[in-house]
Amino acid sequence: MKYLVIGSGGREHAIAWRLLNDGSASEIYVAPGNGGIEDKYRIDIQIDDFEGIKKFCDEKKIDLVVIGPEIPLVEGLADFLSENGIRSFGPSKKAAMIEGSKLFAKRIMETYDVPTAGHWDFTGQKSLIEFIEKQEKYPLVIKLDGLAAGKGVAIPQNREEALAFVEENVKPDSRVFLEEFLEGEEASVLSISDGVTVIPLVAAQDHKRVFDGDMGPNTGGMGAYAPAPVVTPERMKFIKERVLQPVIDGMRSEGIPFKGILYAGVMISGDKITVLEFNARFGDPETQVILPLLDVKLSDLLNAAVDGNLDKFNLTFKDAHAMTVVVAAGGYPGNYEKGKEITGLESVSDKLMVFHAGTASKGGKIVSNGGRVLNVTSIGSTLKDAQQNIYDEIGKIKFDGSFYRRDIGYRAL
């Protein structure tokens, strides 16, 4: 089969790598891809160019389009392709609202009795500021509705920080809500659904803060590992029965079946499991540790979901551990420079897989082209082995200003 992967991050590099390496694909293209994708497979079409994507699929007779990022999903790429007779993996525009609107997700969770934090809704600044003026308990969680590339959530530690965030980010028509602050350990439970059946993938844990010890601002994710032992078999059973299946059943009953990856970000504290958010896509960098552990062909899994055959699918994972460490550009998640030459990529051993995230190829050289630049990944028979493999060699890969966390996996080790 011929595949087109939409996106340009480490997630998309990992999807393309897996499809090529497990015998899934005869040909695979990535639009727009990054410096890790060979030139002949990298297609210069942007993710919002729906017509361009359609034209390419027609020309190359693409069998399945795998949509990586949330933006084209929320903007209806899956619907557009389907209207044009092109198969794709990823939810419809309406179903992707589970990620695209945090208020929609709250409504679904409340309707179908999925455990989530209590919340208070506001529109614009006035009543929100009045509420904050009276609020004594901090930290507080403020969430803007709508996609905000990870910048829609603030966790102010005091009233001044809360008011500053509101002043800067809440427009007169912004829909926003406050949520109680939850303590505990976070995990990413991705699952795959055909709209009826839902099957959890191996649980992963991301590291959202930029610095070691979970310090500094939130990022898109600085590293991940799987399996995450915090998601014990009992907790996974609870998440499947009380979170994933009710959402899939509820959305189907409302006429918006969810087909694709349903990703639940959960907070775990003892027996208490609470959903923080849903994503409608593969996580990044979680995908970079989940896909290497998959013990089936990725194409079989994706096609079973698209064709509505997951009830007969026996999804298994390897008995191994995977870790990925993000190499980022100096200044990320704030301002950073691009175009720095990356050296040492050829010098690492085959214990590592280096997925490219924010890179470009330029005159035969690989240069940085984003904040999260590379995902240095390894599989081991233990998590410790995978971690050791990475930290033994990650220092060989360098560019001006590059940095990475040195403690990925610490909660499990």
Q: Which residues bind ligand AMP (CB under 6 A)?
A: 117, 141, 143, 153, 155, 179, 181-182, 186, 208, 218, 265, 276-277
Q: How far is the CB of 267 from ligand AMP (least distance, A)?
A: 6
Q: Are 247 and 233 in contact (CB under 8 A)?
A: no
The length of the chain, given as a count of residues: 413
Whichever of 66 and 176 has its CB closer to ligand AMP, that residue is 176
Contact between 279 and ligand GLY per CB under 6 A: yes
* Residue 18 backbone phi and psi in degrees, to 5: -65, -45
Tokens, residue 86: 């092109």
The 8-class DSSP code of residue 342 comes to: P
Q: How far is the CB of 284 from ligand GLY (least distance, A)?
A: 5
Q: Which of 284, 374, 393, 404 is close enough to bind ligand GLY by CB under 6 A?
A: 284
Whichever of 138 and 403 has its CB closer to ligand AMP, that residue is 138
Q: How far is the CB of 11 from ligand GLY (least distance, A)?
A: 8
Which residue's beta carbon is nearest to the bound ligand AMP?
Answer: 277
* Residues 6 or more apart in contact with residue 221 via CB below 8 angstroms: 206, 207, 208, 283, 284, 285, 286, 326, 372
Cross-strand bridge partners of residue 162 = none
CA neighbor of 183 nearest in space, from 205, 207, 155: 155
Q: How far is the CB of 100 from ligand AMP (least distance, A)?
A: 12
Q: Which of 221, 257, 260, 371 is close enough to bind ligand GLY by CB under 6 A?
A: 221
How many Cβ atoms from other residues are within 10 Å of residue 290's Cβ?
25
How many Cβ atoms from other residues are within 10 Å of residue 238's Cβ?
17
Q: How far is the CB of 188 from ligand GLY (least distance, A)?
A: 7
Contact between 99 and ligand GLY per CB under 6 A: no
- Which listed option, ligand AMP, ligand GLY, none, makes contact with residue 181 (CB within 5 to 8 Å by class)? ligand AMP
- Which listed option, ligand GLY, ligand AMP, none, makes contact with residue 101 (CB within 5 to 8 Å by class)? none
Secondary structure of residue 331 in the 3-state scheme: coil
Q: Are 278 and 70 in contact (CB under 8 A)?
A: no
Q: Are 256 and 98 in contact (CB under 8 A)?
A: no
- Which listed option, ligand GLY, ligand AMP, none, makes contact with residue 70 (CB within 5 to 8 Å by class)? none
**Part in contact with ligand GLY (CB under 6 A); list of ranges 127-135, 176-184, 278-286, 384-392:** 278-286
Q: How far is the CB of 389 from ligand GLY (least distance, A)?
A: 22
The crossing angle, in degrees rounded to 10, of helices 298-307 and 10-21 is 100
**Part in contact with ligand GLY (CB under 6 A); list of ranges 27-35, 281-289, 313-321, 338-346:** 281-289
Contact between 79 and ligand GLY per CB under 6 A: no
Whichever of 179 and 284 has its CB closer to ligand GLY, that residue is 284
How many CA atoms lie less than 13 Å away from 229 in the CB half-sphere? 9
Contact between 7 and ligand GLY per CB under 6 A: no
Helix segments in 5-88, DSSP class H:
10-21, 50-60, 70-74, 77-83
Whichever of 148 and 164 has its CB closer to ligand AMP, that residue is 148
Q: How far is the CB of 324 from ligand AMP (least distance, A)?
A: 17
**What SS3 string covers 87-136?**
CEECCCCCCCHHHHCHHHHHHHHHHCCCCECCEEEEECCHHHHHHHHHCC
Whichever of 152 and 330 has its CB closer to ligand AMP, that residue is 152
Contact between 283 and ligand GLY per CB under 6 A: yes
CA neighbor of 39 nearest in space, from 408, 361, 372: 361
Q: How far is the CB of 97 from ligand GLY (least distance, A)?
A: 16
* Residue 226 backbone phi and psi in degrees, to 5: -150, 150
- Which listed option, ligand AMP, ligand GLY, none, makes contact with residue 279 (CB within 5 to 8 Å by class)? ligand GLY
**Part in contact with ligand GLY (CB under 6 A); list of ranges 79-87, 121-129, 279-287, 374-382:** 279-287
Contact between 286 and ligand GLY per CB under 6 A: yes
d(CA 395, CA 297): 33
Give contact residues for ligand GLY (rule: CB under 6 A): 206, 220-221, 279, 283-284, 286
